[in-house]
Amino acid sequence: MHHNQASESSKNVGALHGLRVIDLSRVLGGPYCTQALADHGAQVIKLEPPDGDETRGWGPPFLDDTAWYYVGVNRNKQGIAVDLSREEGRAILWQLLEGADVLVENFKPGTLARWGMDYERDLKPRFPRLIHCAISGFGPDGPLGGLPGYDAVIQAMAGLMSVNGASDGPALRIGLPIVDMVTGLNALAGILLALAEREKSGHGQSVDIALYDCGVSLLHPHLPNFFGNGRTPQRSGNAHPNIAPYDSYATGSAPIFLAVGNDRQFARLCAHLGIAELADDARFSNNRSRCAHRAELKAALEARLALHDCEPLARELIQAGVPCGPVQTVDAVATHPHTRHRQMLVEMDGYRGTGAPVKLSRTPATYRTPPPALGADTRKVLDALGIDIDTQRKLFEAGVVKG
């Protein structure tokens, strides 16, 4: 925990304090969203099937018996294990919804309806203020409606892979589940939009978030370029399709990434490397010309970059106003002093996590509890619902709940 966080967390309760979220989601998109809600003070009750969210097994590495994959997106939540395929399990969910503001789920479209919990038909009449967020692969209908969606499959189908990778290599999956995480962020935005509107109308609504839509929404600038010229965007490795020099370049040591967006920055880069005359060369004098002569530009820059070490050069260039940086590995990011300074590392009770990227001045995120063991809070939550000990015992014995 950050040193001043413990003292502040008692009085700082977060921007979403008082918000109650029932989280039926598993794997990544939903949990990424609900962890962000929880970091900002919402009470999130995560319901898992008796055998748990499947990502608990997605290791190694493991923390105790739980995969770090699960640990990465489930802090600040209460965890209960309930079998929702059974009537008695759903009765508990109905009770939880009585006091809830938000329901997040990523079941296959039609699952809730089959359980008598369809939003329009069943939930809305009974809980008019409830915000229901459904995360699915392709949405409930249409040519691909109701089909299951997985991050890498959507990366392939939504065109992301087609523009990722070396120009002479195959289409390549982006090396992290970007569609799932952007889906989580869009779910977060959708829920916050619905909450803002509820302030005015007093009514909840259903938020429909599809991985497919989120994948397509990421195609900037490729889709605009296609609208403009009708040409199918191609892979360009690390090079930007519209800007030069904007690529990874060899130095005397590790590669450096230069992201030079205008002529002023280009002139500074050339001056720093002792080749000021390059900025006046007709082939390189503006971005359009530089894009037309990429190969010559790269050769001229790399001839000078070879005389430098990446790290000190990157420091000097960025101080001089040239956007650039070393291509760092994950271990270097985790130990970088700026990562710590920005509070992007969270540490408590053997748990280490990634900090919240949204920094609010009055009501910052807080880190209160590590991710729950399976069913860790089942008894506590059932107690809070006023379910008596005898009934609880029967539910446990029947395998409806676990804890």
Our CA angle for 236, 263, 281, nearest 5°, is 90
Length of the chain: 403
- The string of DSSP codes covering 4-56 is THHHHHTT---TTTT-EEEE---TTHHHHHHHHHHHTT-EEEEEE-TT--GGG
DSSP letter at 108 equals: P
Q: CA 45, CA 24: separation in Å to the nearest integer?
A: 9
Give the pairing type, strands 43-48 and 77-82: parallel
Give yes or no for a contact between 49 and 81, defined as CB atoms under 8 angstroms apart.
Answer: yes
Q: CA 140, CA 147: separation in Å to the nearest integer?
A: 8
Compute the chain's Rg from CA coordinates. Answer: 25
- Residues sharing a CB contact under 8 Å with residue 206, sequence separation 6 or more, in sequence order: 119, 120, 124, 131, 132, 133, 134
Nearest to 80 by CA among 102, 52, 100, 56: 52
DSSP letter at 169 equals: S
Nearest to 225 by CA among 293, 313, 163: 163
At which residue do the structure tokens 């010309």 appear?
289
178 φ/ψ angles, rounded to the nearest 5 degrees: -65, -35
The structure tokens listed for 81 are 């294990």
Which residues belong to the active site?
180
97 sits in which H/E element? helix 87-98
Four-residue CA torsion sign, 82, 85, 89, 92: positive
Q: DSSP 3-state assignment of 353?
A: strand
| Cα 312 from chain centroid (whole Å) | 32
Q: CA 265, CA 392: separation in Å to the nearest integer?
A: 67
